[in-house]
Chains A and B, each alone.
Chain A
Amino acid sequence: MRWRGRIERVLALVRGRRLDRELEAEVEAHLEMAETDARKAGLSAEEAWRAARRRFGGVEQMKEEHRDRRSVRWIETGVRDFRIAVRTLGRAPGFVVVAVLTLAVGIGATAAVFSLIQGVLLTPPPYKDPEQLVLIPSARTDGQQQESPRPWPAAQWLEWQREAKSVQSIAAYRWMFNFVILPDGVESFEAMAVTPEYFSVVGLEPVLGRKFVASDTAPSAAPVLMIGYELWQRSFGGNPDILGQTVRVGRQDAPFEIVGVMPPGVRFLPAPNAAQEPNYDVNALVDIWAPFAPGSDPKDLKRPRWNVIGRLAPGATPERAQAELALITARQAHADRDFAGFTPDVQLLTSEFNRDGERILLPLFGAAALVLVITCGNVAALLLLRGLGRQREYAVRAALGAGRAGLFRQASTESLLLALAGSAFGIGLALGAVRAFKLIGGQAIPRLDAVTTGWPILLFGLALALIAATLAGLIPAWRASRLDPNEVLKGAGPKSTAGRGERHLLRTVTMAQTALTLVLLVGAGLLIRTMINISKAPSGYKTSHILAMTVTSVEGDWSDFHHRALDRVSTLPGVRHAVYAWGVPLTGNNWPARVIIEGQPVPVRESEATEVPLRSITPGYFELLGMAVTEGRDFRSNDDDDAPQVAIVNKAFADRYFPDTTTLGKKVWLFGPDRAPSKIIGVVANSRTDDLTRQASPEIYMSFWQTRAYSKHLLVRTEAEPLAMASAVHAALREVNPYAAVEHIKTFDQIRNDSLAGRSFAMQLLVGFAAVGCLLTLVGIYGVLSLSVASRRHEIAIRTAVGAKRRDIRNLILFDGFRLIAGGVAAGLAGALVLSRVLRSFLYEVEPNDPATLFAVAMLFIGVALLACWPPTRRATRVDPMKTLRCE
């Protein structure tokens, strides 16, 4: 269609009336001329009048055609169809309420999960062209997993910076943790220590002040830092005069000057080697940046302590960068054996950034979409039923000249209207659901704090309405348009029955719903079994009645504070026992170390070293957690700086390294061969310290009084509810030292639940979705069978009349229902076998195709569904043959 034609046609909508008048005038003139001609040909006045009109054809039809041709017809008819639809639906409020609320559930669930996806996965980090950024962690050349990925020595990445062509710029960074000292107490913060290139590599400009420059990193330079936008707003009230102000930082003498404020929304870059630190949270917003640069001392240059980020050169792929950097690194390793054994593992920042979110959100989105399809199924069935009731209306319309297209349009307009209303309510539901998700899902989904609800959820809701209208309305509308008015009007049957065709369609819809519900149920079942398996798994420690918090003395004498604080807390009424521990189970904390073990070969290269996580505890820690020391002894309070270094290992360690000899008395070098070794004085039972789903691996415990751990937890076993003691413990610590930082107060049970947050969030959502799907499908099955009974009354009556028993009728109908259910269940199980694989990473000790779960879920559903078949079956057995047959 040409542009001009289009514009004219839209204009014609507005000028409709004038065009009609003009046409009228033309028609009159036309008829007059025709009459005149006919008169000239010798016809009488009356004959001429009639001939002119006959040859002209139907005037009204022509006018309609004229309007049709000249304008955008669909807008006009659309508006009219809409008005009719509103009026027709208004006459069936019950139907409308049920259909709209059903659709609202499906649309709401899908839109809610979508808004999480939008906020977490689709919102890119605030860097410039983030898809060009690559993280360059290390991997072992022998392919083995690293306990804690080794960062890079400056000597290596400085050479990459100079030589790599596929990477246009490279910056290095480290994760830092410290405390700011404020007049009213102490607050911890995570910080990024960055090389000055960081800003140009990631493409961030400060909103206020300046970036770091090379001179900021000189040893003699005055200490400076930049603060995050959020910290600026939160702690400094967005004060524009912030530049030049100073802050005091824990255990640093000189105050730091604030030189710049960063834009909002900047989060940490992953620093895998710091992941075991108690306060490491890669998804947090960065509050503080500090300048750093490698020194010129050759020994310093070789210390592996840097994480590296790079920006790909224009047109370069991650693969090319990987190949080039690996080549340079191999050359470095060849030249200096200290560098041997590690190779870069180039990864796109965006894929690393989204990995955890995708893992949980995509399966949940799929599940929500299934719920939407199931709700559409119900509404489709409702519409079909309603269509049956309106067959005569449709037939009359068709007989009066409404075309198939017109009937189709009318029926689809109604479903569109329902879907739009459903979407309005659904978006309301979704807004509530997102708030609920943010409350319960904080530990399960990274960067959930960034999720906001706005235009995207609205637009997505509208899009879903279109999809729902199509899914639910297409088949009913098609049925309406295929109606044969002759048959319907001749048949004049009662309204509550359906022919074979409709019944078949409805059965198909219900079967599809059953199949999808089964998929949801299997997913929920697998996750429930996972949670049960985890709760049954022997963790090796008790979690109840334990209060945990991080305690740090920012200033003053370390040993004095910790002794006095522990004594003070231990003697509080209601406290049974208190210990310090660095490396509390399920927090992810430990101290990854490359150790040398007596009797094991001493590694030549760094990459060959034995990695064992270290933990540091005070005496009584094992007793507090209910872990048994099976050999040797626990630490004593005099295992301190004045005593020889001692260590306790777990049974897994003893089994692996000393399978045939006694472990007690053996030596381990924890901090390299140059430092004194520790003597093993005890063996403790195994426990699942890192993760409840993972078997114990070798562990080493050190005496807290010999290690001076900076960050650590205080664990308190209480007599009553642990959180009730929190304020008393907090006050006691502050009494000992008003500058002590006391943070992250939680019960150990909470820590345990947080470690399972992803699974339990996925389980809660899937169970919810499955329950909704189940309910809707049961309603569907009930409806289909009821309709089937109503439509077969006649048949049932005849069967009864010729001698069928009640039992026969009951079996007939129940079997009908069973076939329907079993068909859906079979299809659903097949679907579940394929789809539940997406849950694999969440499952524990249960396979995605676990036969027991599949069987149990199928049986359970069939059982419940047969209950839904019972009322219609009863109705069938009550059919009175005399009455029914006489009515015909």
Chain B
Amino acid sequence: MIVDMSNEDMSKQRTDVPYGTLDLLVLKTLETMGEMNGYRIARRIEQVSGDALKLSQGAIYPALIRLEQEGWIRAEWGISETNRKVKFYSLTKAGTKQLEAEVQKWEQANALLARFLEAAP
């Protein structure tokens, strides 16, 4: 029996992080913290957001590969604190630019929303 695993169903089980937001969180984390491995990035996002985010740590990896492919972050092999080979991620120049653009977009959207919500009745 063939079981299809397309995005649509999994989105329900996975996480309530709005699509695309995770990318932004990862980029921002790398900007603030510098080079980090996947586990540390996930922990950092959890810590900063507290309990507000329902995020499986695993969800970080699909986001990381995508950001790498876009050329916004770079991955290098290093040794983890548990003495294992692991990838360390850092922001590229293009990534910094992308982050700036994303943040700006986000702020504009927020400002617009805020104006709307205040204007209500």
Is A864's beta carbon under 8 Å from chain B? no
Does any Cβ of A come within 8 Å of B112's Cβ? no
> Is B51 an interface residue, CB under 8 A from the partner?
no
A875 at the interface (CB under 8 A from B): no
Instruction: Tell me the minimal C-beta distance from A50 to chain B in angstroms.
Output: 14
**Residues of B in contact, count (CB < 8 Å):** 39
Given A55-B57, A61-B13, A62-B56; A4-B69 close (CB under 8 Å): yes
Q: Which residue on B lies nearest to A407, using beta carbons?
A: B4
Chain A at the B interface: SS class? helix
Tell me whether B85 and A25 are in contact (CB under 8 A).
Answer: yes
* Chain A contacts with B in 12-27, Cβ cutoff 8 A: 12, 19, 22-23, 25-27
CB of B14 within 8 A of CB of A57, answer: yes
A62 and B3 contacting across the interface, CB-CB below 8 Å: no
A1 to B: closest C-beta gap in Å? 9
- Does chain B have a CB within 8 A of A36? yes
Q: Is A886 part of the binding interface, using a Cβ–Cβ cutoff of 8 Å?
A: no
Q: Which B residues lie within 8 Å of A450 (CB)?
A: none
Does A281 touch B at the CB level, under 8 Å?
no
With A34-B39, A397-B4: A57-B69 Cβ-Cβ less than 8 Å: no
Min CB distance B76 to A, Å, is 12
Q: Compute how far the CA of A396 lies from the CA of B4 in the bound complex, rounded to whole angstroms.
A: 12
A47 within 8 A of B: no
A residues in contact with B2, CB < 8 Å:
84, 397, 402
B62 smallest CB distance to A (angstroms): 4
Chain A-chain B contacts (Cβ-Cβ < 8 Å), number:
130
Contact B57 A56 (CB under 8 A): yes
A400-B69 contact in complex given A57-B56, A62-B61, C-beta closer than 8 Å:
no
Classify chain A's interface size: 35 or more
Which residues of B lie under 8 Å from residue A4 when comparing CB positions?
A: 69-71
> In the assembled complex, which residues on chain A have CB atoms less than 8 Å from the CB atom of B5?
61, 64, 401, 403
CB distance from A91 to the nearest CB of B (A): 14
CB of A406 closer than 8 Å to a CB of B: yes
Q: Are A403 and B9 in contact (CB under 8 A)?
A: yes
Binary contact track A56-75/B, C-beta < 8 Å → 1, others 0 = 11110110111011100000
Taking the closest CB of chain A, its distance from the CB of B70, in whole angstroms, is: 5
Contact between chains at B57 and A26 (CB < 8 Å): no
Residues of chain B with a CB closer than 8 A to A5's CB = 66, 69-71
Q: Which of B1, B14, B66, B81 contacts A69 (CB 8 A)?
A: B66
Are A65 and B84 interface neighbours, CB within 8 A?
no
Query: Bound complex: CA of A401 vs CA of B13, how far in Å?
Result: 11
Shortest CB–CB separation between residue A768 and chain B, in angstroms?
A: 43
Measured between beta carbons, the chain A residues less than 8 angstroms from B56 are 55-58, 62
Residues of B with C-beta under 8 A to A187: none
Binding site for A on B (CB under 8 A): 1-10, 13-15, 37-40, 42-43, 56-59, 61-63, 65-66, 68-71, 80-82, 84-87
Task: Give A residues with C-beta under 8 Å from B.
Answer: 2, 4-5, 8-9, 12, 19, 22-23, 25-30, 32-34, 36-37, 55-59, 61-62, 64-66, 68-70, 84, 396-397, 400-407, 410
Q: List 12 A-B contacts (CB under 8 A).
A: A2-B70, A29-B85, A32-B80, A33-B39, A56-B57, A59-B58, A61-B10, A65-B7, A68-B7, A69-B63, A69-B66, A402-B6
